Structure 1
Amino acid sequence: MDASSWFLILNGKAAGDEALREAVAAQREAGRRLAVRVTWERGDAERYVREAVAAGATHVVAGGGDGTLREVAGALAGTDRDAGALPALGVLPLGTANDFASAAGIPEAPADALALIAGAAPVAVDLLRLRADDAVHWCANLASGGFGTRITLETREGLKKMLGGLAYFLTGIARLGRIEPTPARLRGPGFEWAGDFIALGVGNGRQAGGGQALCPEALIDDGLLDVTVVPELSGEVAATIGAVVSEGKAAALEQVAARARLPWIEIESRQPLPLNLDGEPVQARHFRIDCVPGRVRMALPADSPLLARTREPHAQPLQ
């Protein structure tokens, strides 16, 4: 009999998943106390996290996509408790793209994902804290702006249901002829950049928008955020698309992007700038984004590519 107590906070869109129901039943039959809470409207995830903390839960599982993970992780981070006094965070990928889970190596099948959570020793991981117009937002995966943000916001729900992450790619291709650059100034310790960009990524995780690896070397336990800025390409667009096809997205990114690894960054724009925090659109003229080290504990594969301990140390800042 396992003494652990779990709260599964489940996005309402996934409530009818039969494989999920079977996986939950299997965990209960194994002796695990597992309560399911289904989100329906804004604020539900935060309320359920408070309930889980008050009940002394050992684990809170975010069942859904990257947006659900952001809500649950942010609700945990918004408490006045240290990471060690909070339930461990598990990820059950049930969304359209599941960018964080994909990069972290979390299995897609509900039974396998729950088994991973049951067997993993939780590790302390970072979160991004974003301040905009006196409001505080939390982000577990990646804050993005520019072209990629517009793709994510404009991809229709029906298309996502039919095609999954491919829907973002098709929407992006449709927009190639009308990419509008965004003027901004970025600064952080030892790093400054100013100009017009078409894509911006500030990563705790590595990818967004259905597999677009804006921050391909980001780690979630190094106390640093990864920044990637793709400037206005003008005549280089064709060459960059050619590099995507022939050498892969990482090669194209290396050709054109400015990159850095920093503990914090400030972003300023003369006009309101929209950022996408794992599905949450936030708009302001000034942002301050901090990497908050070890803010929550998360159940991850021991060999997850997002963990610094699985890789040799790398130099920073990356520019």
Structure 2
Amino acid sequence: MRKARIIYNPTSGREIFKKELPTVLERLEIAGYETSAHATTREGDATDAARAAVERKYDLIVVAGGDGTINEVINGIAEQANRPKLGIIPGGTTNDFARALNIPRDIQKAVDIILADQSMFLDIGKVNGHYFMNIAGGGKLTELTYDVPSKLKTMLGHLAYYVKGIEMLPSLKPIQTKIEYDGNVIDEDIMLFLVANTNSVGGFEKLAPDAKLNDGYFDLLILRKTNLADFIRIATLALRGLHLESENIIYVQAKNINVSTDEKMQLNIDGEFGGLLPGEFVNLQQHIELLVSDKLLEKEDY
């Protein structure tokens, strides 16, 4: 009999998954999985639970939570020789990765996708010994995701980020940064850089519009030094996917990226603090097998 392990964050989102866990367990059992569940209790717990699931030879890991929980599970299996399939049940505030995979927030509809058993091998990134499935970056603005208290995110959702963003705007300052990618070099003052695996970043669905999930390339987006008025204008354009028209935006694709700076710059990995730069970003093509929706499979070029 196939075995499935559910790893879930009981505090993600509005804590809805806990109420539906019995139904999810029942549906997986009916589908032929011997199923058990693990509720995370601390930072890094999902990584340990994922490693344990690999050691116990589970065929499927179902991750129920936000991007942070998914990231921890990815880090638990990325270096393993035999990696289980992954299923995603979105339960966080932004759910960028689930959105990129066209997985709905409705828990039972997400389970439908898992039980359909349609999978793809997708890229992940690695930087300074940490793995990420969606986004890594640096610059003051990227600190929003881990500066917002979890209780505020639970109560306000996306609005919590905007509240914190307004608070941070006056402190946004450029940092002299050297970025080397596939033989090219950019060395100038920047506001932020993003290394994206998908098109869904920070609640923006068109920030990296050409991103592919399995092509072996990152989408590198750099916001050059800009004043507050121009920054607000670019952010407004980004909501409609028109920000790439700005001369203050650099947007390229690359397999390997090195970023360094003489100043302190924190590294954001899938919405969580990932240490300090410098960093070398490496794309691991088609490294993780995920259960995905019909909508994703129907897209061209995948």
* Helix, strand or coil at the partner of 1:23: helix
2:299 maps to which of 281, 304, 310: 310
The alpha-carbon deviation at position 46 of structure 1 amounts to: 2.8
Report the AA paired with residue 275 of structure 2.
Answer: Q
Against the structure 1 CA distance between its residues 150 and 265, is the aligned structure 2 distance closer, same or farther, given a 3 Å change threshold?
same
Against the structure 1 CA distance between its residues 116 and 192, is the aligned structure 2 distance closer, same or farther, given a 3 Å change threshold?
same
Against the structure 1 CA distance between its residues 211 and 34, is the aligned structure 2 distance closer, same or farther, given a 3 Å change threshold?
farther
Q: Does 1:277 align with 2:256?
A: no
Q: Does 1:241 align with 2:242?
A: no
2:126 maps to which of 110, 125, 129: 129
The alpha-carbon deviation at position 184 of structure 1 amounts to: 0.8
The alpha-carbon deviation at position 30 of structure 1 amounts to: 4.2
5+ residue gaps, structure 2, are: none
CA contact (8 A) 2:244 2:251 kept: no
* Cα deviation digits, residues 47-93 of structure 1 (max 9, x gap): 322332233221111111101111111111122x1xxx321011111
C-alpha distance in structure 2 between counterparts of 1:249 and 1:156, whole Å: 28
RMSD over aligned Cα atoms: 2.3
CA contact (8 A) 2:204 2:238 kept: no
* Cα deviation digits, residues 104-160 of structure 1 (max 9, x gap): 2111111111120111322111110112xxxx1000110022143122232232321
C-alpha distance in structure 1 between counterparts of 2:193 and 2:35, whole Å: 39
Identity of matched residues, %: 27
C-alpha distance in structure 2 between counterparts of 1:195 and 1:20, whole Å: 50
Against the structure 1 CA distance between its residues 246 and 296, is the aligned structure 2 distance closer, same or farther, given a 3 Å change threshold?
closer
TM-score, with structure 2 as normaliser: 0.89
C-alpha distance in structure 1 between counterparts of 2:49 and 2:167, whole Å: 39
The alpha-carbon deviation at position 302 of structure 1 amounts to: 3.2
1:86 maps to which of 77, 83, 88: 83
CA contact (8 A) 2:209 2:241 kept: yes
Report the AA paired with residue 6 of structure 2.
Answer: L
CA contact (8 A) 1:130 1:288 kept: yes
Report the AA paired with residue 38 of structure 1.
Answer: A
* Cα deviation digits, residues 232-273 of structure 1 (max 9, x gap): 112xx4355346547844212431310111111000110232
Report the AA paired with residue 77 of structure 1.
Answer: A
C-alpha distance in structure 1 between counterparts of 2:244 and 2:21, whole Å: 37
* Cα deviation digits, residues 153-194 of structure 1 (max 9, x gap): 322323211111221123213322321112210011143211
TM-score, with structure 1 as normaliser: 0.85
Aligned partner of 1:258 in structure 2 is 250
Aligned partner of 1:41 in structure 2 is 42
CA contact (8 A) 2:2 2:34 kept: yes
Against the structure 1 CA distance between its residues 63 and 47, is the aligned structure 2 distance closer, same or farther, given a 3 Å change threshold?
same
CA contact (8 A) 1:20 1:111 kept: no
Q: Does 1:10 align with 2:8?
A: yes
C-alpha distance in structure 2 between counterparts of 1:244 and 1:7, whole Å: 40
CA contact (8 A) 2:260 2:279 kept: yes
5+ residue gaps, structure 1, are: 314-319
C-alpha distance in structure 2 between counterparts of 1:207 and 1:147, whole Å: 20
C-alpha distance in structure 2 between counterparts of 1:249 and 1:181, whole Å: 25
* Helix, strand or coil at the partner of 1:63: strand
C-alpha distance in structure 1 between counterparts of 2:263 and 2:206, whole Å: 27
The worse-fitting range, judged by mean Cα deviation, of 108-117 and 48-57 is 48-57
Against the structure 1 CA distance between its residues 246 and 92, is the aligned structure 2 distance closer, same or farther, given a 3 Å change threshold?
closer
CA contact (8 A) 1:201 1:214 kept: no
State the number of aligned residues: 298
